[in-house]
Structure 1
Amino acid sequence: MDSGNSCDYSWVDLVFTVLGVCTFLFDLGADLWVAAEFYLYGDYFWFGIVLSFVFVSSALLQMFSWFWYKYDTKLENFNPQTTTETLLLANNDNGGRCDRLKLVHVFQLGFLLRYVTAIEQGFHVWWKKRNEPGHAIYLTHDLSMLRLFEAFSESTPQLTLMLYIIIHNNKAETFQCVSIAACFISIAWMVLEYHRSLRAFLPEKNKLGYSSSVVYFLWNLLLIAPRVGAVALFTSIFPPYIGLHFLLLWAALLLWAWAQHTDFMESGPGEWLYRTMVALIWYFSWFNVAEGGTMGRSLIYHTFMAADSGILLGTWYWYRDPLVTDHYVLPLLLALLASYLLGLLLKVTYYKLFHPKIWQPVFRAGEDVPDNLVYRSLSPTDALPSVINKRMGALANSFYFSSSMPAGGKTNGNERNATL
């Protein structure tokens, strides 16, 4: 699964990029199909809810993409390297670049633009050997982050909605099952692609084995599923109150993100946009945003969310309709509990046995420390050493390194760095 050196770009990376856009389009197509089915059935409320998920998520992605393009086009060595980029970005006047980019994002095409340029650039690097791999790697890092945002701002809420409707109606339509499958595929691909992207930032990268990828994917999915199930079950008996629950919890999580002094974006408004997204992700899953030992923060989060999910499930159990739910209530609750406990067990197992380990060398006083010691693949090419993807590099630094560990020795692969 790995291409070896983090600065290499292989056919595997190109395939992952192509499959990434395919899963995105499949997910989008499934959403539009679900919306159309609701419209044809006369369920205009659900029709509007599904479309609102799609449009709100798309708007958020375009805003992030726009912020990043504005920053990237100001870099000294930023130069369009593909036909698509040349048409849209090549201009002696930086204002002209921004005007074109703004128009693309207003029409909700900025995310697809990134995929098109990443595939085109990747093809030139791998097949034609015409370009350096750095720009393609840079683009795939940003795409993995945007897919993470898309999964939790659209796929996960959509999955919760479909489960709620099935529970509420006590039956499942074909299009609802397709939507659930599409959401699971989207979330699964996001987890794997994001993990691969972070792995590219290891200074001395071990091979990303299939076993570690499977375990990483499973513990994330097993921890997300009970949370989604708890929210869907609570919504089935108190639909008006789930919005209030979300807003109150989201506001508290937003304050927690602010308290951790995140520094992901290049501007104040952009940073607050990022914190709002972090709070949304936290509503469903843990996501590390700060450097240093994260065991304490992770423990606080999991304890709080387990208590919250328990309250949601307890409320549903107390107010449910016994005639409708008695035949599946016990197996369902046991399945959710087993999924959560197994997810925690696999998470501990991953950080004990599968989390990649590196050796960070000790440098004597007065020695020059290589700039790419931590962010090896942040320097895309030898020709463009200043074009570095600091966004994903900062997250990788939080994921793989602990500030409490002394220089020299294995600095990752321990429970103190448990992040997602």
Structure 2
Amino acid sequence: MAVKITFTKFDFAWTLAGFSLYFADVGTDLWVAAVYFNDNEFTRFALVLAVILLSALVLQSFSWSWYQYDREILQQRDNSEIQHSHYQSCGSRCSWLCVLHIFQLGMPVRFCKALLLGYKAAFKQGDTETAIYALTDLSMLRLFEAFLEAAPQLILQTFILLQSKDSDFIQYGSVIVSFMSISWATLDYYAALKRSLPNPNLTCGFPYVFYFLYKLLTISATILTITLLATLHILAVAAYLLLLWSVMMVYVVRQKTAFCKSKCQEIIYRMVIGIILIFTFFNIKGQKIRWALILYYIFKVFKTIVIIILCWILKGSSLDKGNDLSISISIMLALIIGIVCVVMYYRCFHPQVYSKAATDEDCNNSHTESQLPAPQDEVDGFLPQNSTVTPNNVGENRDVIHSSVSQSQNVNSRIMYCLTE
């Protein structure tokens, strides 16, 4: 039985809140940069601005390449019965979209488009599939932005606040907004992935709460750990991040990802995923990797304890340790509670729990052999043995991923590739 996918007023409000938070995040960071420049703190000004610009360049490159890919799909489907308005807009507005991306306006354009499509779908019974398609791309870009821009800014601003006696209110505002931006981006990405699943029971609020706490607390522990290490020495942080990123890149390269069509874009994608893995676990290829998640957090706990002990030993018996004790306690509490939340999530609120219950109910009430497909997730995602899902064979794999969704649905290939997060 096909499951009707809807786009509600709550979904529209959620998108609007994400739009506001994104601009608040970028706006406060630019404000902080202006304050540093006005105070002749040119090093801090350069660091803040460099993070913003680097993140913007990466996001624009992904956004533009995705528009180009969608345009190619349109050209390949000239004789198809399916004509998606998202593809049509990509083909007819290519020139001005290129100009907007050059001027770093790709993200605002995507937000405005998503809000317009979402408003029509929620209030005027517009094309729901088109709205969800636009939102999934936006969710992935927001996730990239959270770890390329918000997380580094959060580390930088937290470190500056710990080292400065006189702080401007906008610095505290930047820290708060960055925390909210990261948390919202991870939860929005989770919601976008679950929205792509055919099981309507996944709308329960408790999975979102536990998933949100799991991500928020574990990411916060990582950020505070890096900040604590920075109070020891800046070079120690640079060496630590470079070493950790190198380890994560080895893991990413060994996965042999094929997310992007061009080799250059694929390299950038792998580098971005390597950065994300510094802060939180991310399933790269949609495989069943329960042990990878377990080993990841065992390693995270180990290196966190080592860094805390190392910082205290190297600082010796100095009484001038500032907020080290409170930071250390906060790190361990956040990490422990975060791990408890992820265990609770996968034990009690994992999508397969709902899938099994729904399948049992379906078997009791029907004599047919049809069953709901087991939803995929960050750990227990799976595909049939002989099936692969890449941006190049999305059409052939529609039945694999969305077997109970209406076949007229235009599924976003990029969210399909990462559907197990």
Class of the TM-score when normalised by the shorter of the 2 chains:
0.7 to 0.9
Instruction: Describe the SS at the equivalent of 1:179.
Output: helix
Moved more, 266-275 or 139-148: 266-275
Partner of 2:355: 358
Q: Contact 1:202–1:376 at 8 Å: present in 2 too?
A: no
CA separation of 1:6 and 1:239: change in aligned 2, threshold 3 A: farther
Contact 1:203–1:373 under 8 Å retained in 2: no
In structure 1, the residue matched to 2:180 is: 185
Q: What is the match of residue 194 of structure 1?
A: 189
Q: Quick one: which of 71, 75, 99 aligns to 1:103?
A: 99
The DSSP-based 3-state class of the residue aligned with 2:124 is coil
With over 3 angstroms needed to count, the CA separation of the structure-2 counterparts of 1:372 and 1:166, relative to structure 1, is same
> How far apart in 1 are the matches of 2:339 and 2:288?
18
RMSD: 2.7
Q: TM-score, normalised by structure 2?
A: 0.82
Match of 2:414 in 1: 391
What is the 5 A alignment of 1:104-253? Answer: 104-129=100-125, 131-169=126-164, 172-253=167-248
Report the equivalent of 2:14.
16
In 2: Cα distance, 1:146 partner to 1:370 partner? 24
Contact 2:3/2:405 (8 A) holds in 1 = no
**Counterpart selection for 2:321 from 304, 318, 325:** 325
The equivalent position to 1:302 in structure 2, one of 288, 293, 297, is: 297
Q: Quick one: structure 1 residues 163 and 320, their matched pair in 2 at CA, closer, same or farther if it must change by over 3 Å?
A: farther
What's the CA shift string for 1:96-127, capped at 9, x where partnerless?
x5443322211111111111111111222232
TM-aligned CA deviation for residue 338 of structure 1: 1.6
Mapped partners of 1:226, 1:136: distance in 2: 35
Residue 378 (structure 1) shift: 8.1
Q: What is the one-letter code of the residue matched to 1:40?
A: N
Aligned to 2:53: 55
* Cα deviation, residue 205, structure 1: 2.5
Percent identity for Structure 1 against Structure 2:
28
Distance 2:404 2:237 in 1: 42
Aligned-pair distance for 1:53? 1.0
The verdict on how the C-alpha distance between 1:204 and 1:74 changes in structure 2, with shifts beyond 3 A counting, is: same
Asked if structure 2 preserves the Cα contact closer than 8 Å seen for 1:156 and 1:187, the reply is: yes
Tell me, yes or no, if the aligned pair for 2:259 and 2:417 is still in contact at 8 Å. Answer: yes
Q: Classify the secondary structure of the residue corresponding to 1:283.
A: helix
State the one-letter code of the partner of 1:31: D
Whole-angstrom distance in 1 between the partners of 2:249 and 2:163: 31
Distance 2:153 2:3 in 1: 37
| SS, match of residue 7 in structure 1 | coil
Give the match's secondary structure for 1:266. Answer: coil
Q: What residue identity is the alignment partner of 1:287?
A: F
2:370 matches 1:375: no
User: Contact between 2:3 and 2:198, CA under 8 Å: does it hold in 1?
Assistant: no
**Residue 185 of structure 1: how far off its partner (Å):** 1.1
In structure 2, how many angstroms separate the alpha carbons of the residues matched to 1:370 and 1:243? 43
Match of 1:281 in 2: 276
Q: 1:249 to 1:370 in 2, by over 3 A?
A: closer
Which whole-Å deviations, capped at 9, do the CAs of 1:192-245 have from their partners, x for residues lacking one? 211110111222221422222111111111111111111111112211332232
Scaled by the length of structure 1, the TM-score of the pair is 0.82
1:341 to 336, 350, 357: 336
1:9–1:122 CA contact under 8 A, matched in 2: yes
* Alpha-carbon offset, residue 55 of structure 1: 0.7
Q: Which runs of 5+ in 1 are unaligned?
A: 92-96, 364-368, 400-420
Tell me what 2:308 maps to.
Answer: 313
Gap regions ≥5 residues in structure 2: 360-369, 373-395
The SS at the match of 1:289 is: coil
* Counterparts of 2:314 and 2:96, CA distance in 1: 54
Q: Which residue of 1 aligns with 2:30?
A: 32
Q: How many residues matched?
A: 376
Instruction: Tell me, yes or no, if the aligned pair for 1:144 and 1:194 is still in contact at 8 Å.
Output: yes
Question: Which residue of structure 2 aligns with residue 402 of structure 1?
Answer: none
Alignment partner, residue 381 of structure 2? none
